Amino acid sequence: MPIADVPGYHAVRDHTEALARPLSAEDQVVQSMPDCSPTKWHRGHTTWFFEEFVLDRWAPGYERFHPKYQFLFNSYYEAVGARQPRPRRGMITRPSIDDVAAYRSAVDAAMDSVLTQSRDPDLVALVELGLNHEQQHQELLLMDIKHLLSLNPLRPAYRESSGASGAATPKPAGFVAHGGGLVEIGHNGHGFGFDNEGPRHSVYLEPFALADRLVTSGEWLEFMQDGGYERTDLWLSDGWAHINAEGWNAPLYWEQVNGTWQVFTLNGLAPVDPAAPVVHVSYYEADAFARWSGARLPTEAEWEVTARPAEAGPTAPGLHPRALVQDVAEGETSQWFGEVWQWTSSPYTPYPGFRVAPGAVGEYNGKFMVDQQVLRGSAAITPAGHARTTYRNFFTTKSRWAYSGVRLARDV
Amino acid sequence: MPIADVPGYHAVRDHTEALARPLSAEDQVVQSMPDCSPTKWHRGHTTWFFEEFVLDRWAPGYERFHPKYQFLFNSYYEAVGARQPRPRRGMITRPSIDDVAAYRSAVDAAMDSVLTQSRDPDLVALVELGLNHEQQHQELLLMDIKHLLSLNPLRPAYRESSGASGAATPKPAGFVAHGGGLVEIGHNGHGFGFDNEGPRHSVYLEPFALADRLVTSGEWLEFMQDGGYERTDLWLSDGWAHINAEGWNAPLYWEQVNGTWQVFTLNGLAPVDPAAPVVHVSYYEADAFARWSGARLPTEAEWEVTARPAEAGPTAPGLHPRALVQDVAEGETSQWFGEVWQWTSSPYTPYPGFRVAPGAVGEYNGKFMVDQQVLRGSAAITPAGHARTTYRNFFTTKSRWAYSGVRLARDV
Amino acid sequence: MPIADVPGYHAVRDHTEALARPLSAEDQVVQSMPDCSPTKWHRGHTTWFFEEFVLDRWAPGYERFHPKYQFLFNSYYEAVGARQPRPRRGMITRPSIDDVAAYRSAVDAAMDSVLTQSRDPDLVALVELGLNHEQQHQELLLMDIKHLLSLNPLRPAYRESSGASGAATPKPAGFVAHGGGLVEIGHNGHGFGFDNEGPRHSVYLEPFALADRLVTSGEWLEFMQDGGYERTDLWLSDGWAHINAEGWNAPLYWEQVNGTWQVFTLNGLAPVDPAAPVVHVSYYEADAFARWSGARLPTEAEWEVTARPAEAGPTAPGLHPRALVQDVAEGETSQWFGEVWQWTSSPYTPYPGFRVAPGAVGEYNGKFMVDQQVLRGSAAITPAGHARTTYRNFFTTKSRWAYSGVRLARDV
Amino acid sequence: MPIADVPGYHAVRDHTEALARPLSAEDQVVQSMPDCSPTKWHRGHTTWFFEEFVLDRWAPGYERFHPKYQFLFNSYYEAVGARQPRPRRGMITRPSIDDVAAYRSAVDAAMDSVLTQSRDPDLVALVELGLNHEQQHQELLLMDIKHLLSLNPLRPAYRESSGASGAATPKPAGFVAHGGGLVEIGHNGHGFGFDNEGPRHSVYLEPFALADRLVTSGEWLEFMQDGGYERTDLWLSDGWAHINAEGWNAPLYWEQVNGTWQVFTLNGLAPVDPAAPVVHVSYYEADAFARWSGARLPTEAEWEVTARPAEAGPTAPGLHPRALVQDVAEGETSQWFGEVWQWTSSPYTPYPGFRVAPGAVGEYNGKFMVDQQVLRGSAAITPAGHARTTYRNFFTTKSRWAYSGVRLARDV
């Protein structure tokens, strides 16, 4: 059955709807800042992707669900025409959430029809890209709804807490060393990867060491209590100007309630858990914290070669050239994935030999490769398939609404 | 029955809900610009007014419906505490539209109880103020929802057209003269009036004449075709800077579709009707149009003394000192009320002897008396009871989303 | 001698140069904010006025001193072509101050030639306007240079103090009453007046009283100590927003040095003199102070009819209709002129029957008649001929760099 | 003679004064945009550097020339106290240019005295840093004065043209290849280098080729004529947004005069010379041009290893490991230095092992290492000693007032 070539089409599509389900119509329409998009828009945009890049080509005679949806739900693909300006995505009170649900169903039905008729590799690759794209928007949807709900004085929860208690007290942080030398990083072409993950290429590293766990909220409190946000010498020049202009003195979503630090989460307001990884800090803050710690942030290559054994596990021995990862004390490091994205000191640039794909799909990653920093790992809200050592997430130095945290590095 | 003292409590309250009824939950939550408020907020705010100013004092033991609603639904009353910042009213996705409906019902029930137990004149005056306040918000609600829907590329209608055809071709405009002299303007204390409508006082006028009808969209098209938006000499200095910065070249809501001018209305997009009064122009534009016409805008006193006979009609001879209105050709003028608000050349200032009422209610009008212009008359969307000759509406010179139009004046 | 028709041509022109003389080339070129202009620009612009409006017409064969000076030194006269954008006047490092001196000399020589050949009334009127225009810029020059020097951490003095000691302790403020009624205000056509001072016309006033002296800095300190800048209830809504956005908590140029209030003056930094009239306050602050005092600001008509006897003195009995000024206790009021401009509650609007003059000269006043407030009186830096009861100065509500102070008024 | 240890102290200091000499007092005081500084400020700031970092420590009993100059002339060294805000450097009309000359003389005299008494290596190193710092400001001085003069409608020349005619028509551009592999870049510790040029370290390169000359203005005109500024697909997303917001359609300083492109230079306005290297383009424009050319920008490592033979010449065989530069056709490349700075695709980040020096001097480079791009080479206005292969200049992606141009690169 051809559909087997793109396992998970319905799983991915249904998961988006499941994420939206706890949200009211009002929750789904509002845009809380230009960087964020409404839930309804995420639902429409991920659907439009299939209409634009798959159905138009692979479903002969397919008629667009609505003549204006291309305009409404295009994000930034200049090559496919005009679109709703990003800061005005929150004005789209219509189509309604039900209209968008109908749009999703119609496109899914057409996709089913296409996928039962063809197993063309180009088609399968586009569908795979569309599903990975949708998963990225699943994470954005949660980031964005958290930001919106945080601005409501009622501090409403997205969902009721699962009752999970706090994180266990972490062991003292240690550093695991790597001898450096010539290493390879980047996607090797097996399995899905975004264009920006390749080409795989060599990088020469000096010896270094990475922390074996993430920085915790408790450690961040120490930084704050030590005047971290008031000491100029800890900050990049731009960072110092920015935190003073914005009045930042703690991570995003932290607020003092009756003298104790609380943090807004998808489960509502909760006390800051000192054992949990700190999250929602900007690059500026991560960099200042590292300087305060007498450490630095890792480069993305350092991160990748150190994380690789952790990802591979004992069952994937051939995945990485062990000889290059001599000094990593395997098994001792932790929290690479599924906790928080980890700022690296690497600006987001194309890998040597990177080529933008032709056509509109090629606008996916390349045109954002300036003035952003790479983050590695994955967050608690990241869809499972997006946790891999070669994955390159990226945000501007000022961004805090992503689930961004800190792992320290050192020269050795 | 005491309730008879405040006739229309339920009529006014129900009308607000009727206005909201065609709107989806999404439509009711979004704020399209800082000057506008979401429908849901209007519904909540007008309800809070009764809670804050009536129930707290007149309903012993009344408990607030929700501890945070005072914060959410206060508009600008500094004296009663902190409040949601105006530009963030659109972030309040919760309470839901149903929660707000429940809030309205609970307050109405409490109000019923209060009003069946007391006819204290202070109570009655406050309720009357609250109802007039709510009627002002009914007009704002329609202004605001029109602005929001206009930003949607789908150009959705608020309601289906009633099928009414266009306005009849107007007769050529004439001017009716007034001999000037000492006249009285302002509210005389009979019936309800806002504080800013009084005290009644004398004003000395030079002879003048007012147009006997409003400026039409057809005449505005002539102004545009004659280069009205490109001729510096027609504009106030601030106005010229503003239209160039904003790129204005037509009234708000006008857009060219395939070479013809269309206008967005509450019924959706429609051709510009040359016979209808022009609407949604700023003070700057009204002033420039008047200069282009070889005329000027009326002062609010000129407007009031000329409109008075029109308002009064033949059955209310004693309402206005006829001797002072010698030269008005009675019955020849038209369109004073129920069409569009009419910009006057009068800045919004306190009348001689104006005193702000003590307490929070006193924040109603006085603190806005600077850098705004008075508009007179009323619009098609204005609640009936708000059409009176002494009524002073006011907006900044840059505002266009009110139903603002133009009546010309001349020296004689 | 025709030149006798325009007495003071050289006196006025030379006075401008005398005002510039204490200033270095650097002082004369910098623009400290968009509202201000460099000294060199004032010197050039006032000269260009004669070139543009007089020499072009009255000096046959006159050649412009420099082909670009029209562009550089036009201020806002749209009708005579393009011009240097106002916020970029400070970029004109060339022509040098010597070039500008040569420009002034050349134009003066040409003017001398014209004025010895003709006594045409149109010519004389234009020259008179040009001289009054230049005198206005003399005051602006001092306002602007004070603002510039105040931003220099060295707090340099424009000139050494004349050694004058502080003001004498003022007597307690009293109020002198006026019975109101129909009064005439505005320029009567005898002697020079700007277009905006007429036409003379009737105004009806309610009874009122005006303070017999100006508000002092000592009284302003009481206002500050009583929390005047922290009490919302004292402020217009726009004013409250503005002082909080700007962080205003004292008049412009006040600063605390070692716990005492100092004020920057044209003589350098000096202690605040509690006996001197307060100066450099915005309309918002003047209005808030008046409310705090249980008083209000005067209208311009109230101010004019009360000040008139003071101006006229016993030797000019016919100038004002004494019958209309019944209740003024003549001789008891003071400080109408030569101290500080006095904010009135009157927005700057055209008088009834005001007509803009044809041509570019007509851009003088009319196109600024919106969103500004009238100030009356004159300041210590105002050229003598500009102190008259009908003179209408005007600034926006936010402006503080003019010599603006406060006289209180009350209803009676 | 100890002074021999810091050859060129007076030569460097005098050169700064020579650069300022053609400028009037007015020219020297104005700040044309926040990124720029007035000439007078450059002269004072470079002097303050010696006072702050040398005289305070090495000249016992030295008294500061003026108590406020530390405040006025500190640039961004947070560690040494408060300072004049950068956007207000243009307000400092006093001290005068003569005062600043006196300041320079006094500090030079004190420096002479110190340098005749000590040859302490720390002292010599600080003086060397101070001189290199001053040379950087010599280039900035010219960049900044060019920007200022360009805003003057008179388009005044900084100096008269030396009469040099246009550049010779360049040969067609070729590419010289490099085989890639492991190379070393960075300063090797011999001779002066800024902290950011080291440590020297290994980098692994894929094979590549660099253009053997710079992009010319003639080629840029072709790009413009081919719609380069209108084709979205050529631009980074941020770049596209920026050029549209700013209305850029040509390099900075280009303007159309009667249908032909002119360019403002330090010699005044001149026709665009198609043979000369294009200059004053932003990173966004350089990147778009490269994409249009089917090429890309070089990385800084690619640039450095290719330029090294050009720098070294035949007399310095040991300076670079020839084995690593296999494929460069030596002698065929040109224009590495003394023409224009060349944008690289490398963001400005610390080299592996980079450490900020302790104390205020350490603020020199490190704290700017984010959100900027590296430029390599040197410009026609760059002091001679600043042309070396390891030199890292840096500007933001939006900057155009530096002498920034383009050399293309390709994968092979």
Q: Position of tokens 């001349």?
A: B410
B24:A71 CB<8 A: no
Q: Residues of B near C (CB-CB distance < 8 A)?
A: 76, 78-79, 182, 201-206, 232-233, 235-240, 283, 287, 345-347, 349-350, 352-353, 367-371, 397, 411
A93:B24 CB<8 A: yes
Q: How many CB atoms lie within 10 A of CB D18?
A: 10
- CA dist B211 and B298 (Å) reads 9
| Chain C residues within an 8 Å CB radius of B287 | 370
Question: If you average pLDDT over residues C265-276, what whole number do you get?
Answer: 97
Identify the chains in contact with C, defined as 3+ C-beta pairs within 8 A.
Answer: B, D
- Are A284 and A399 in contact, with CB atoms under 8 Å apart? no
Residue in A29, A88, A95 nearest the CB of B151 = A88
User: How far apart are the CA of C152 and the nearest CA of chain D, in angstroms?
Assistant: 6
User: How far apart are the CA of D25 and the nearest CA of chain C, in angstroms?
Assistant: 6
Check residue B7 and give its pLDDT: 64
| Chain B residues within an 8 Å CB radius of A81 | none
* Residue pairs spanning A and B at CB distance below 8 A: 81
A352:D202 CB<8 A: no
| Chain C residues within an 8 Å CB radius of B346 | 349
Q: Which ipTM was obtained for this model?
A: 0.92
| Chain D residues within an 8 Å CB radius of A78 | 232-233, 240
Q: Position of tokens 């350092």?
A: A302
Residue in D24, D91, D153 nearest the CB of C151 = D91
Q: Give residue-wise pLDDT tens across range B140-159.
A: 999 999 999 999 999 999 99
Regarding beta strands C404-405 and C341-347, do their DSSP bridges make them parallel or antiparallel, or are they unpaired?
parallel
Q: Which residue of D has its CA nearest to A352?
A: D206
- CA dist A353 and B104 (Å) reads 64
Check residue D162 and give its pLDDT: 66
Please report, as a single letter, which amino acid is at residue A41: W
A152:B94 CB<8 A: yes
B285: pLDDT strictly greater than 90: yes
User: How far apart are the CA of B16 and the nearest CA of chain C, in angstroms?
Assistant: 27
Which of B180-184, C5-9, D66-70, D175-179 is predicted least confidently? C5-9
Q: In three state form, how does the secondary structure of chain C look?
A: CHHHHCCCHHHHHHHHHHHHCCCCHHHHHCCCCCCCCCHHHHHHHHHHHHHHHHHHHHCCCCCCCCCCHHHHHCCCCHHHCCCCCHHHHHHCCCCCHHHHHHHHHHHHHHHHHHHHHCCCHHHHHHHHHHHHHHHHHHHHHHHHHHHHHHCCCCCCCCCCCCCCCCCCCCCCCCEEEECCEEEEECCCCCCCCCHHHCCCEEEEECCEEEECCCCEHHHHHHHHHCCCCCCHHHCCHHHHHHHHHHCCCCCCCEEEECCEEEEEECCEEEECCCCCECCCCCHHHHHHHHHHCCCECCCHHHHHHHHHHHHHCCCCHHHCCHHHCCCCCCCCCCCCCCECEEEEEEECCCCCCCCCCCCHHHHCCHHHCCCCEEEEECECCCCHHHCCCCCCEEECCCCCCCCEECCCEEEC
B96:A148 CB<8 A: no
Which of A205-214, C12-21, C74-83, D372-381 is predicted least confidently? C74-83
Give the SS3 label for residue A321. coil
Task: Using a threshold of 3 CB pairs under 8 A, tell whether chains D and B touch.
Answer: no
D25:C26 CB<8 A: yes
| Chain D residues within an 8 Å CB radius of A203 | 204
- Are B220 and B290 in contact, with CB atoms under 8 Å apart? no
Q: Which residue of B has its CA nearest to A27?
A: B93
Question: If you average pLDDT over residues B183-206, what whole number do you get?
Answer: 95
Alpha-carbon A399 to chain mean position: 12
CA nearest neighbour of B333 among B212, B175, B208: B212
CA nearest neighbour of D407 among D186, D196, D209: D209
Q: Residues of A near B (CB-CB distance < 8 A)?
A: 24-30, 32, 40, 68, 71-72, 84, 88, 90-97, 148-149, 151-154, 156
Which of A126-140, B299-313, C171-185 is predicted least confidently? B299-313
| Chain D residues within an 8 Å CB radius of A202 | 204
Of residues C163 and B331, which shows the higher confidence score? C163
Q: Give residue-wise pLDDT tens across range A368-384.
A: 999 999 999 999 999 98
Check residue C323 and give its pLDDT: 30
Task: Read off the pLDDT band of B321 (50, 70, 90).
Answer: very low
| Chain A residues within an 8 Å CB radius of B71 | 153
In chain A, what's the furthest Cα-to-Cα distance? 66
Residue in A78, A79, A345 nearest the CB of D349 = A345
Check residue B171 and give its pLDDT: 83
* Residue pairs spanning A and D at CB distance below 8 A: 72
- CA dist B210 and B147 (Å) reads 31
What the block records as the tokens of B79 is 């004296």
Identify the chains in contact with D, defined as 3+ C-beta pairs within 8 A.
Answer: A, C
| Chain C residues within an 8 Å CB radius of D97 | 26
Q: Give residue-wise pLDDT tens across range B2-27.
A: 344 466 899 999 999 999 999 999 99
Check residue C311 and give its pLDDT: 64
Task: Using a threshold of 3 CB pairs under 8 A, tell whether chains C and B touch.
Answer: yes
- CA dist B183 and B193 (Å) reads 19
| Chain D residues within an 8 Å CB radius of A233 | 78-79
Check residue C21 and give its pLDDT: 97
Q: Which residue of B has its CA nearest to A71?
A: B153
| Chain B residues within an 8 Å CB radius of C233 | 78-79
What burial letters (b/e) apply to C166-197, b meaning 16+ CB within 10 Å?
A: eeeebeebebbbbebbebbbbbeeeeebbbbb
Mutate: best of D367, D395, D410, partner A, most A CBs <10 A: D367
User: How far apart are the CA of D92 and the nearest CA of chain C, in angstroms?
Assistant: 6
Mutate: best of B208, B345, B367, B397, partner C, most C CBs <10 A: B367
A204:D203 CB<8 A: yes
Enumerate the H helices of B209-282 as residue ranges.
Answer: 217-225, 237-246
Residue in B29, B32, B153 nearest the CB of A26 = B29
Mutate: best of D154, D155, D264, D269, partner C, most C CBs <10 A: D154
Question: If you average pLDDT over residues B59-88, what whole number do you get?
Answer: 88
Q: Which residues touch B17 (CB under 8 Å, ≥6 apart)?
A: B43, B101, B104
User: How far apart are the CA of B409 and the nearest CA of chain C, in angstroms?
Assistant: 12
| Chain A residues within an 8 Å CB radius of B25 | 24-26
Alpha carbon of B363 to those of B37, B88, B390, C364: distances in Å? 19, 21, 20, 38
- Are A340 and A404 in contact, with CB atoms under 8 Å apart? yes
What the block records as the tokens of B17 is 């809900």
| Chain D residues within an 8 Å CB radius of C87 | none
User: How far apart are the CA of B369 and the nearest CA of chain C, in angstroms?
Assistant: 7
Check residue A7 and give its pLDDT: 64
pLDDT values of chain D reduced to their tens digit, one per residue, 412 residues: 334 446 689 999 999 999 999 999 999 999 999 999 999 999 999 999 999 999 999 999 999 999 999 999 998 777 777 888 888 999 999 999 999 999 999 999 999 999 999 989 999 999 999 999 999 999 999 999 999 999 999 999 999 876 655 667 888 889 999 999 999 999 998 999 999 999 999 999 999 999 999 999 999 999 999 999 999 999 999 999 999 999 999 999 999 999 999 999 999 999 999 999 999 999 999 999 999 999 999 999 999 999 998 665 443 332 222 233 333 444 467 899 999 999 999 999 999 999 987 777 777 788 999 999 999 999 999 998 898 999 999 999 999 999 999 999 999 9
Spans of chain A below 50 pLDDT = 1-5, 314-331
